[in-house]
Structure 1
Amino acid sequence: MGMMQEFKSFAMRGNVIDLAVGVIIGAAFSKIVDSLVQDIIMPPIGKLIGGLDFANYYVPLNNQDPNLSLVEAKKLGAVLAYGNFLTILLNFLILAFVIFQMVRLVHKARAKLEEPAKPADPAPPSEDIVLLREIRDSLRK
């Protein structure tokens, strides 16, 4: 089988297509969670901490003005952008939790739909076994 045929059979397998759809939906969902964190959750937290944009918290690693925005400080030299890191970390935790809940629901739904298979009735013994049992029983008598 040629390499193109192998690739075509691989790509058209159901699992690969499902995976591609999952990646696309995951990327779109990631943008929603990113907006949720940056636009809804972090502004109130930043206001409680000091009234600044939480993503702009940083420690300058060279002699620069600590009152600059993160973008301006990065232009002037190295900075330790811990606020941006914390924002991205929170974004990841929310996304991981939501995906976990989705997978959990799918597993519960599958468990309800897939009833355990009932064991099949044992097959009747073959004629040889029946004959041997009769001989055994007659010898006992």
Structure 2
Amino acid sequence: MINDFKQFIAKGNVMDLAVGVIIGGAFATITTSLTEDVIMPVVSWVFGGVDLSSKYILLGDVPTGIDPENYAALKEAGVAMLGYGAFITAIINFLILAFAVFLIVRNVNKMMVNKEEAAAGPSEIDLLTEIRDSLKK
């Protein structure tokens, strides 16, 4: 069983997956920063200085001593609320990440098709046409 596990780990697919997960985690951090530090401030500026990440709807009572305007304090206190601003930020983050992955996959697919075309060489029809033309001469 240990030998089987070693063979499983040593396979290229598992290592590729591990590298992909690590790079994906780092890429997610970059897109989160892009969303929170670049895009959302611009969106906030467009909408008149509104900070979407702290927009919420209270569903329960606010405990005494907690500022009802402080989203982080309310969240830490466990107050029931709908944090729609954080949800909108997460959606924008997902769309950026999905678009970046789409661009990467699209370009990789184009490179793979070009490699296959280059490796394939001439088609049978091209070869037969060339032979026919040679025989005519």
TM-score normalised by length of structure 2:
0.77
- Structure number having the greater helix percentage: 2
Residue 49 of structure 1 corresponds to 47
Alignment of 1:14-33 (within 5 A): 14-33=12-31
| Structure 1 residues 23-76: Cα deviation after superposition (integer angstroms, max 9, x where no partner) | 111100100000000000001212333423211000111244995121122226
Higher relative contact order (CA 8 A, sep 6+): 2
2:88 to 79, 86, 89: 86
Residue 104 of structure 1 corresponds to 106
Residue 130 of structure 1 corresponds to none
Residues 57, 81 of structure 1: 8 Å contact kept: yes
Alpha-carbon distance between aligned partners in 2 of 1:37 and 1:68, rounded to the nearest angstrom? 23
2:115 to 104, 113, 132: 113
Residues 54, 87 of structure 1: 8 Å contact kept: yes
Q: Secondary structure at the match of 1:77?
A: coil
Q: Secondary structure at the match of 1:62?
A: coil
The share of aligned pairs that are identical, in percent, is 43
Alpha-carbon distance change, 72 to 40 in structure 1, aligned in 2, over 3 angstroms: same
What are structure 1's unaligned runs of at least 5 residues?
A: 122-141
Residues 59, 66 of structure 1: 8 Å contact kept: no
Amino acid at match of 2:92: L
Amino acid at match of 1:16: V
Residues 10, 16 of structure 1: 8 Å contact kept: yes
TM-score normalised by length of structure 1:
0.75
Q: Which has the larger radius of gyration?
A: 1
